[in-house]
Amino acid sequence: MTVTDTVSPSTETAHPALELRGVSSAYGETQVLRDVSIAVPPGSVTALIGPNGAGKTTSLRVASGLVKPTSGEVLLHGQPVTGWSPHRLAGRGLCHVPEGRGVYRNLTVEENLTMMSPPGSVAEGIEKATATFPILGDRLKQKAGTLSGGEQQMLSLSAAYLRKPTIVLVDEPSLGLAPIIVDLVFDFLKTLKAEGIALLLVDQYALRTLSIADTAYVLRRGQIAYTGSAQELLQGDMFEQYIGEGVS
């Protein structure tokens, strides 16, 4: 089969927006993922939960082309894209919002938003981002590195809107943020879902993440321990078994 950069609308809906199929991955000699399979249905939220070091970030990095799997496949809307560069995947509608604020610190807010906007729709992009996060409108001429953590996260998340993706990978968007900003971040994620964008979400707040998710995966030591409904995982026994007590 010839792999092209275009897919028909029927292909877009018939397959998962994103799929990791039997993916294994390593950093040098250290095996991190073992036979991981994750499917993100179009227009829905998929939660990836698990303890520190389980391999959640690595799974997202494999999906966005930053880490090459040692075996297994990555598919975007049913198309094999294993080994594609992050840039090429971005051009096909995949947006990765990495942990730790994916912004250019030495560029202004306006310049960051300009880079996130497709050519020809910069003004529209800036308007959309500032309508969603009004504080960014007051900071347009400020270097991104001088923003507060919450403001940087808002700027970083704006990419998920402006690049017009079909699938967004979001890694720990609430890390280090004040509760009121965490509320804003989750509201924004719900807006993305309402607009029909598929999300693969990793966040420290397991309960909150599951509450906006349709499907959930639990990763433990690089292997999938649970695949199923997010709502089922919220039930007492299941939650204790897979996630643990005292988790927020």
Ligand X SMILES: Nc1ncnc2c1ncn2[C@@H]1O[C@H](COP(=O)(O)OP(=O)(O)OP(=O)(O)O)[C@@H](O)[C@H]1O
Spatial distance between the Cα atoms of 120 and 227, rounded to a whole number of angstroms = 41
CA separation, residue 140 to residues 87, 108, 119 (Å): 26, 6, 19
Q: CB 221 → ligand X: shortest distance, Å? A: 9
Long-range contacts of 229-232 (CB under 8 A, 24+ apart): 230/45, 230/47
Q: Out of 23, 40, 57, 93, point to the residue binding ligand X (CB under 6 A).
A: 57
The reply on whether position 169 binds ligand X by CB under 6 A is: no
By CB under 6 A, tell whether 25 contacts ligand X.
no
Q: In DSSP terms, which residues pair with 226 in a beta bridge?
A: 218
Smallest distance from the beta carbon of 225 to ligand X, in angstroms?
13
Rule CB under 6 A: is residue 55 a binding residue for ligand X?
yes
Counting contacts by CB under 6 A, is residue 248 touching ligand X? no
* Cα separation, 33 vs 31, whole angstroms: 6
The span of 25-33, 107-115, 124-132, 189-197 binding ligand X (CB under 6 A) equals 25-33
The minimum distance between CB 168 and ligand X, in angstroms, equals 17
**What minimum distance in Å lies between the beta carbon of 57 and ligand X?**
3
Looking at 1, 30, 245, 248, which residue binds ligand X (CB under 6 A)?
30
Q: Near ligand X by CB under 6 A, which window of 5-13, 49-57, 142-150, 151-159?
A: 49-57
Stretch that binds ligand X, among 46-54, 103-111, 124-132, 236-244 (CB under 6 A): 46-54
Choice between 51 and 118, CB closer to ligand X: 51
Stretch that binds ligand X, among 2-10, 27-35, 73-81, 224-232 (CB under 6 A): 27-35
- Across the chain, the runs of DSSP E, i.e. the strands, are 18-27, 30-40, 45-49, 71-76, 79-80, 94-97, 167-171, 198-202, 215-220, 223-229
Strands 223-229 and 215-220: antiparallel
* Selected binder of ligand X within 23, 32, 109, 136 (CB under 6 A): 32
| The two structure tokens encoding residue 205 | 């707040």
Name the minimum Å distance from CB 100 to ligand X. 10
Q: Whole-angstrom Cα distance, residue 14 to residue 8?
A: 10
Q: Is residue 101 close enough to count as binding ligand X by CB under 6 A?
A: no
**What sign has the CA pseudo-torsion 223, 227, 232, 237?**
negative
Identify whether the C-beta of residue 54 lies closer than 8 Å to the C-beta of residue 220.
yes
Residues lying near ligand X in the complex (CB under 6 A):
27, 30, 32, 50, 52-58
